[in-house]
Structure 1
Amino acid sequence: MRKLAEAVAKYIGMALGIHEEELDLLAKSFGEGSCQVRMTYYPACPEPERAVGMTPHADATGITLLTECGNVAGLQVLRKDNCWVTVPPVPGSIVVNLGQIIEVYSNGTYRAPDHRVVVNKEKERVSIATFCNPSPSLPVGPSPQLLAATGLPPIFQTLSNSEEFMQRFYSRKLLDAVPFIDSLKL
């Protein structure tokens, strides 16, 4: 999973027009960064309309790699028109979800999507999520090459590293009216 996160980070950088040293630094950072794995079991629920599998949220991490075990749908993504769309499970696949660290790095080009999990009335569901972060030595802020190439101003502040980013994320109040990502905007 770490090698996959490294490759995804490299392709994201390439798509943003990042090259040479910064691209290598980004990819290497995900190769050296932390990964946490969470396995989640969602039992069948006789009244799924009255239960929530996982509340709506956007991942604060860099890249999330999701493996769904079985063929039971549950992951939903919020579209721009505020409608929830079910992501159909594809056997043997890995769902790549970009987190808020990538949103900041891309200066908002790539958004960390809001998503949730719903339960199934008749079938249980198991998923394995791997949350990948860049190395703590990498500053978390808009890509300098991206800003130079586009001439756009940064829309997010730069934090000293991913540990500071995650510490600020976890130290916020859960009932804050301002979404975490918006608290980083300049």
Structure 2
Amino acid sequence: MAPTPISNVKVGHIDDVQELRKKKSSKIPERFIRDKTERPKLNNSINLTQFDNIPIIDFSKLFKGSKDECCSEVHKLMTSCEEWGFFQVINHGIDLELLERIEKVAMEFFMMPIEEKQKYPMIPGTVQGYGQAFVFSEEQKLDWCNMFALGLEPHYQRNLKLWPTKPYDFSETLEIYSKEVRKLCKNLLKYIAISLGLNENIFEEMFGVAVQAVRMNYYPPCPRPDLVLGLSPHSDGSALTILQQGKGNTFGLQILKNNKWIQVQPIPGALVINIGDTIEVLTNGRYKSVEHRAVTHKEKDRLSIVTFYAPSYDIELGPIQELVNDKNPCKYRRYNHGEYSKHYVTNKLEGKKTLEFAKFKTDFAY
């Protein structure tokens, strides 16, 4: 059964991390302090520059390379999806100047007075607007992060009252940016399909008018990064997630691999891609969504711009038949994607718990 919708608890002035930062206090409010078992062990986190590298896919070799280059890159893509669930894409075809422009307007928005930003409040029960998402009780711990999220596609998902008039070029820049990212998502899904030995258009044909949303995350410096999390551990409910890490090369994103939190090193101009729960279900677990989180820095701030790309809400999903066999029996039931999306946004971020919705169980613990 689907969960009963829960309204987001209103987060006000006192919980806005940028406003807390302005006070320049070394004391962290209790509501942000994590239980000892959840706190990031920053000194023990693996640094990928010393050990291993998250896979890097050269999109130009997929799209314009020779047959051998394309085959090699498709194989690398398959390995990335099977073993990591994350990869970075270089030469992705999106103008680097456009990436700079979207970062610029996002930062300008977050730097506005709080009274201006609160003209676009996050609507209870949704993840659109300015504030903190996935907060459902007064006792729930908060992330050291300010968020601004908007629905993009299809157009009926948009709440134009939440589209800011300042900065003046915010909406125009986001419109151009979102179209370019949408093209990239469609192309990446073609090559993911090829890597699985499927018809290259299977995902586009299956998804209908794909849902697309953007969330901008701003992480101010934190006086005690060892006590807080920038973003709680979770997997994404999307098919694909496209992450643009802002300039500054500040570490923040961590992924859970072999039960260890691994830093993802920003590469200038690259985009970080991760597999969402939807692709895990469709591939019957062959490509898995991966738990990830964000940590904070004592002296540096960090911006990230995240695009979520998923099937239409009226689509019924389940494992693709070609990927179910005796060696890999069906792991997930068929379900309506809109119901799953509702389940996802009405539950707090808690690892991969939301994926339980898709498994063969008669009820769920909420």
TM over 0.5: yes
TM-score (norm: length of structure 2) = 0.45
Task: Report the Cα distance in structure 1 between the residues aligned to 2:221 and 2:352, rounded to whole angstroms.
Answer: 34
1:73 to 244, 247, 251: 251
Equivalent in the alignment of 1:44: 221
Counterpart of 2:223 in structure 1: which amino acid? Answer: P
Equivalent in the alignment of 1:120: 297
Deviation at 1:121, TM superposition (A): 1.1
Deviation at 1:153, TM superposition (A): 2.3
1:54 to 206, 219, 231: 231
TM-score (norm: length of structure 1) = 0.86
**Are the counterparts in 2 of residues 68 and 128 from structure 1 also a CA contact under 8 Å?**
yes
1:5 to 185, 188, 198: 185
Task: Report the Cα distance in structure 2 between the residues aligned to 1:50 and 1:133, rounded to whole angstroms.
Answer: 34
Deviation at 1:145, TM superposition (A): 2.3
Name which structure has the greater RCO, CA cutoff 8 Å, separation 6+: 1
Distance 1:175 1:133, change over 3 A: closer
Counterpart of 2:296 in structure 1: which amino acid? Answer: V
Equivalent in the alignment of 2:265: 88
Distance 1:28 1:3, change over 3 A: farther
Unmatched tracts of structure 2, length 5 or more: 1-180, 361-366
Larger radius of gyration: 2
1:1-186 maps to which residues of 2 (within 5 A)? 1-19=181-199, 23-28=200-205, 32-70=209-247, 71-80=249-258, 82-147=259-324, 152-160=328-336, 162-171=337-346, 174=348, 179-186=353-360
Deviation at 1:40, TM superposition (A): 0.7
Unmatched tracts of structure 1, length 5 or more: none
Distance 1:175 1:32, change over 3 A: closer
- Identify which range, 134-143 or 106-115, moves more after superposition: 134-143
Q: How many residues align structurally?
A: 179
**Are the counterparts in 1 of residues 208 and 315 from structure 2 also a CA contact under 8 Å?**
no
Identity %, equivalent residues: 36
Counterpart of 1:49 in structure 2: which amino acid? Answer: D
**Are the counterparts in 2 of residues 76 and 118 from structure 1 also a CA contact under 8 Å?**
yes
RMSD: 2.3
